[in-house]
Amino acid sequence: QLEPEGFLATEEGVNSLLNAAFAEGYINGYEGKNRVMLENWSTDIEWETDGAENRTASQVTNFTLDASLDWLFGTMWLRPYRAIRNANLLLDNIDKATISDEDKAVYVAEARFIRVLSYVHLYSWFGSVPLRTSSNDPLELPRAEDAVLRQFIADELLAVAKVLPDPGSEKNYGRPNKGAAMALLCKFYLNTKQWQKAADQAQALIDLNLYSLYANYENLFKVENERNSEFILVNPQSPQGAGMNYMNGAFPPGFASDPRTGLTMRSNWANWAAQYRLYDTFYNSFDDDDNRRNLILTRYINTQGATVSLLNNNNTRSFKYWPDANAIGNEHGNDMSEIRYADILLSRAEALNELNGPNQESIDLVNQIRQRAGLGAKPLTIGQFSSKEDFREHLLKERGWEFYAEVGIRREDLIRMDRFIASAHERGKTNAQDYHRFFPIPQAALDADPSLAQNEGY
Q: Which of residues 11-70 bind other proteins (CB under 8 A)?
A: 13, 16-17, 19-24, 26, 28, 50-52, 54-56, 58-59, 62, 64-70
C-alpha 312/C-alpha 320 separation (Å) is 20
Output the smallest distance, CB 364 to other proteins, in A. 36
Q: Per CB under 8 A, which of residues 382..421 are in contact with other proteins?
A: none
9: left (phi over 0), alpha (psi -120 to 50) or beta: alpha
* Residue count (the chain): 458
Q: Per CB under 8 A, which of residues 132..151 are in contact with other proteins?
A: 132, 139-141
The interface region with other proteins, picked from 157-165, 261-269, 288-296, 403-411 by CB under 8 A, is 261-269
Q: Which is nearer to other proteins, 333 or 400 (CB)?
A: 333
Q: Which is nearer to other proteins, 145 or 418 (CB)?
A: 145
Q: Is 196 helix (H, G, I), strand (E, B) or coil?
A: helix
**Residues forming beta bridges with residue 238, ordered by sequence position:** 242
Question: Which helix (H) or strand (E) segment is 350 a member of?
Answer: helix 341-356
**What angle in degrees, to the nearest 10, is found between the helix axes of 101-126 and 178-191?**
30
Q: Which is nearer to other proteins, 84 or 190 (CB)?
A: 84
Output the smallest distance, CB 192 to other proteins, in A. 21
Closest CA to 183 of 213, 204, 155: 204
167 binds other proteins (CB under 8 A): no
Q: Which is nearer to other proteins, 22 or 391 (CB)?
A: 22
Residues 6+ apart with CB under 8 A from 389: none
Q: Which is nearer to other proteins, 98 or 267 (CB)?
A: 267
Q: Which is nearer to other proteins, 4 or 259 (CB)?
A: 4
Residues 6+ apart with CB under 8 A from 202: 186, 344, 345, 347, 348, 351
Q: Which is nearer to other proteins, 274 or 375 (CB)?
A: 274
When binding is defined by CB under 8 A, the residue of 39, 47, 94, 130 that contacts other proteins is: 130
30-54: burial string, b at 16+ Cβ within 10 Å, e else = ebbbbbbbbbbbbbbbbbbbebebb
**Residues forming beta bridges with residue 242, ordered by sequence position:** 238
Q: Which is nearer to other proteins, 23 or 163 (CB)?
A: 23
Output the smallest distance, CB 368 to other proteins, in A. 29
Per-residue contact flags (x/-) with other proteins for residues 65 to 94, judged by CB under 8 A = xxxxxx------xx--xxxxxx--x-----
C-alpha 18/C-alpha 97 separation (Å) is 13
Question: Which helix (H) or strand (E) segment is 162 a member of?
Answer: helix 146-163
Q: Per CB under 8 A, which of residues 168..227 are in contact with other proteins?
A: 172-175
Q: Which is nearer to other proteins, 165 or 254 (CB)?
A: 254
Q: Per CB under 8 A, which of residues 97..126 are in contact with other proteins?
A: none
Contacts 24+ apart (CB under 8 A), 96-100: 96/8, 96/9, 97/8, 97/9, 97/10, 97/11, 97/13, 97/14, 98/9, 98/10, 98/11, 99/11, 99/14
CA 120 to chain centre: 11
Q: Per CB under 8 A, which of residues 306..345 are in contact with other proteins?
A: 308, 328-329, 333
Output the smallest distance, CB 30 to other proteins, in A. 11
Q: Which is nearer to other proteins, 159 or 328 (CB)?
A: 328
When binding is defined by CB under 8 A, the residue of 101, 304, 377, 383 that contacts other proteins is: 304
- The count of C-alpha atoms lying within 13 angstroms of the C-alpha of 340, restricted to the half-sphere facing its C-beta, is 25
The interface region with other proteins, picked from 3-11, 193-201, 208-216, 415-423 by CB under 8 A, is 3-11
When binding is defined by CB under 8 A, the residue of 168, 253, 259, 376 that contacts other proteins is: 253
Q: How is residue 65 annotated by DSSP?
A: -
Output the smallest distance, CB 269 to other proteins, in A. 8
Output the smallest distance, CB 382 to other proteins, in A. 43
When binding is defined by CB under 8 A, the residue of 4, 168, 259, 457 that contacts other proteins is: 4
Q: Per CB under 8 A, which of residues 221..240 are in contact with other proteins?
A: 236-238, 240
C-alpha distances out from residue 66 to 73, 416, 458, Å: 12, 23, 7
The interface region with other proteins, picked from 154-162, 269-277, 293-301, 385-393 by CB under 8 A, is 269-277
CA 155 to chain centre: 22
Q: Which is nearer to other proteins, 209 or 304 (CB)?
A: 304
What value does the CA radius of gyration of the chain take, rounded to a whole number of Å?
22
Q: How many CB atoms lie within 10 A of CB 55?
A: 10
Q: Is 18 helix (H, G, I), strand (E, B) or coil?
A: helix
Output the smallest distance, CB 193 to other proteins, in A. 26
End-to-end CA distance of the chain: 41
